[in-house]
Chains A and B, each alone.
Chain A
């Protein structure tokens, strides 16, 4: 009975002391609470996969009202921007080379005449392929604009009928806004780095200032140190999650459609896992500089590249895709998108929660086992 009292008293002692450090260390507070919000705002405004105002040039060889109408249709689209007329298709090469345009629409001679006869009339779209994702978007958008206005150009009576008509609806994010995809990813990415750093520095600092020696002269155990160190930073991390989600909702209109408790569970498990990773690093690296570098690298790269934040996990090469299952950010991002956008709860996200819990438990176990109560 007394053993249990001492166990919790020591955890409380370590956590209380650590909280005093945090409260007096303005730098840590700023890093934990202000940085995530600032980064989400910066990235949220700065990073966007939506391309608009793509520069398009038109080489009108037909010079008819119909060909001018096609050019006008492009001009009025908000996604595309008409940068000028070219005399011939040959000039397109030069426009690409100079970077004036990423796409050139060529309307051949006889375009209007064919339309008037009710025959299929072709236009040619040249796209600069040097930037793959831009090229794809130009193609898609120009096609959509031209397709939408094609009916207006067709001669009266010439009906266009296709055997299958495809109607596309995008659920959860009907406007296709990047912010809705990016904010959950950013939350996980930023918190991963900060959570790892917080604890990585906390123990390395104790080694550097020599207090570990005095600490080891007391009856405090490894588990008590590890858990006690973790608790204040967990509280700090939860506050940071709330701040970032509030910023996302307020500035980027990120919705909250699912179960709050599922999200809370995912966030706490994710934070314990990342804080635990920081503990493992600081148990192995006894100075703050090495701990910082190892902490940033080990949290930033997987959370950015192997988490589905920037690239879909399905696109990764098979070995990396398998490895990505070990990256907590991947599961946390899935859970965030699930709760925020798809309105999910415990039932749908149990797999993610389980993965996060497994990672957290593993990290704490390694930290406690590798943490030797010795100076050598």
Chain B
């Protein structure tokens, strides 16, 4: 499979903040790559650099062999769906599609065929006269995706495409993505959701501007050498505080009525002894991709919060 998108050693800073600190990523034809990381990890900056909207301070970007910040022709083969609302709210679905169709220079016949098909797939066909402002979050995202797909790009960049989308629309979007990828499109999808990351062919874990892991999600889970356990019993607040203070506990997050912990490799017995003193015990559970994420990201408290949010959503 040939590579459609590749970066090496990308650096980008905003004032004092280093958003990207040496990022190497790649996407191949027919591959769906998830870009996962907590808020502020640098996902949006990376997508913008790949789209040629931001120039990197150092490093190279190649999309279909071209540098998107210098060679605008690459845009003809690239589809981008930004995270922000960036269509025209006072224009209808049909008018937004028409505008982008013209900017990409589509012939009327191609335009008519493709919009019909995209409107059918996204089930937006009955609402073509509705203004983009008046669309629900899910419908808006589907329209944005349709606008990004009109010119049948070879590479697709999606920045949190399912943010604020109901579960039904979310499933429809994913089905559409899998279909496109099966036809050979290379897709990079930035998401804070571990569920979505686990459904990608390959996942790139980004935190504080660095790539922490890169590989198929099931392989990353299998290779996880951190024990994952659930904590039962004891006074919840006391146990919680003890876990947070314990140097071997990499992450602790609520899972239903229990606490789920990710421990440093080989530290299970030490933590078991510490918890026994508080009247709590641990049972091993099967690790999932979120545990990989929690184990790999460094900061104790920050990660515990992000994990809690991810589970809650």
- Which residues does A use to contact B, with CB under 8 Å? 2, 5-6, 9-10, 12-14, 16-17, 20-21, 24-25, 209-221, 373-376
| B87 to A: closest C-beta gap in Å | 6
Contact B51 A219 (CB under 8 A): no
Contact B103 A10 (CB under 8 A): yes
| A202 to B: closest C-beta gap in Å | 12
Contact B75 A211 (CB under 8 A): no
Report if A214-B82 is in contact (Cβ < 8 Å); known contacts: A10-B102, A219-B76. yes
Return the contact of A17 from the options B73, B86, B91 (Cβ within 8 A): B91
Contact B88 A17 (CB under 8 A): yes
Which residue, of B51, B54, B72, B147, has the highest number of chain A Cβ atoms within 10 A? B72
**Which residues on the B side are within 8 Å of A21 (C-beta)?**
88, 90-91
Q: Is B85 an interface residue (CB 8 A)?
A: yes
Return the contact of A213 from the options B79, B86, B91 (Cβ within 8 A): B86
Return the contact of B53 from the options A5, A9, A216 (Cβ within 8 A): A216
Query: Which applies to chain A's interface (DSSP): helix, strand, loop or mixed?
Result: helix
**Which residues on the B side are within 8 Å of A220 (C-beta)?**
103
Query: Whole-angstrom distance between the alpha carbons of A218 and B79 in the complex?
Result: 8
Nearest chain-A residue to B103 (Cβ)?
A: A218
**Which residues on the A side are within 8 Å of B76 (C-beta)?**
219
Contact B54 A376 (CB under 8 A): yes
Q: Is B215 an interface residue (CB 8 A)?
A: no
Contact A375 B86 (CB under 8 A): no
Query: Whole-angstrom distance between the alpha carbons of A212 and B86 in the complex?
Result: 7
**Which residues on the B side are within 8 Å of A213 (C-beta)?**
53, 82, 84, 86
> What is the size, in residues, of chain B's interface with A at 8 Å between Cβ atoms?
34
Q: Is B80 an interface residue (CB 8 A)?
A: yes
Return the contact of B90 from the options A25, A216, A374 (Cβ within 8 A): A25
Return the contact of B105 from the options A9, A210, A216, A375 (Cβ within 8 A): A9
Contact A209 B85 (CB under 8 A): yes
**Which residues on the B side are within 8 Å of A20 (C-beta)?**
90-91, 95
Contact B102 A376 (CB under 8 A): no
**Which residues on the A side are within 8 Å of B146 (C-beta)?**
none
Return the contact of A9 from the options B84, B102, B148 (Cβ within 8 A): B102
Return the contact of A217 from the options B69, B73, B78, B90 (Cβ within 8 A): B78
| A366 to B: closest C-beta gap in Å | 21
| B65 to A: closest C-beta gap in Å | 17
Return the contact of B86 from the options A211, A221, A373, A374 (Cβ within 8 A): A211
Query: Whole-angstrom distance between the alpha carbons of A209 and B96 in the complex?
Result: 15
Query: Whole-angstrom distance between the alpha carbons of A9 and B91 in the complex?
Result: 19
Q: Is B127 an interface residue (CB 8 A)?
A: no
**Which residues on the A side are within 8 Å of B61 (C-beta)?**
none
Cβ contacts B152-179/A at 8 Å (1 or 0 each): 0000000000000000000000000000
Contact A214 B73 (CB under 8 A): no
Nearest chain-A residue to B72 (Cβ)?
A: A219
Contact B103 A13 (CB under 8 A): yes
Contact B103 A219 (CB under 8 A): yes
Query: Whole-angstrom distance between the alpha carbons of A219 and B105 in the complex?
Result: 9
Contact B147 A374 (CB under 8 A): no
Contact A218 B104 (CB under 8 A): yes
Contact B85 A210 (CB under 8 A): yes
Contact B87 A214 (CB under 8 A): yes
Query: Whole-angstrom distance between the alpha carbons of A16 and B148 in the complex?
Result: 20
* A-B pairs with beta carbons under 8 Å apart, 24 shown: A2-B105, A13-B103, A14-B103, A16-B102, A17-B88, A17-B91, A20-B91, A21-B90, A21-B91, A209-B85, A209-B89, A210-B82, A211-B86, A211-B88, A213-B53, A213-B84, A217-B82, A217-B148, A219-B76, A219-B104, A373-B72, A374-B53, A375-B48, A376-B54
Query: Whole-angstrom distance between the alpha carbons of A5 and B102 in the complex?
Result: 11
Return the contact of B80 from the options A2, A212, A214, A374 (Cβ within 8 A): A214
Contact A375 B53 (CB under 8 A): yes
Q: Is B32 an interface residue (CB 8 A)?
A: no
Nearest chain-B residue to A209 (Cβ)?
A: B89
Query: Whole-angstrom distance between the alpha carbons of A12 and B82 in the complex?
Result: 24
**Which residues on the B side are within 8 Å of A221 (C-beta)?**
72
Return the contact of A218 from the options B85, B91, B100 (Cβ within 8 A): B100
Contact A217 B75 (CB under 8 A): yes
Query: Whole-angstrom distance between the alpha carbons of A24 and B105 in the complex?
Result: 26
Nearest chain-A residue to B102 (Cβ)?
A: A13
Query: Whole-angstrom distance between the alpha carbons of A25 and B131 in the complex?
Result: 14
Contact A374 B73 (CB under 8 A): no
Query: Whole-angstrom distance between the alpha carbons of A16 and B100 in the complex?
Result: 12
| B8 to A: closest C-beta gap in Å | 21
**Which residues on the A side are within 8 Å of B147 (C-beta)?**
214
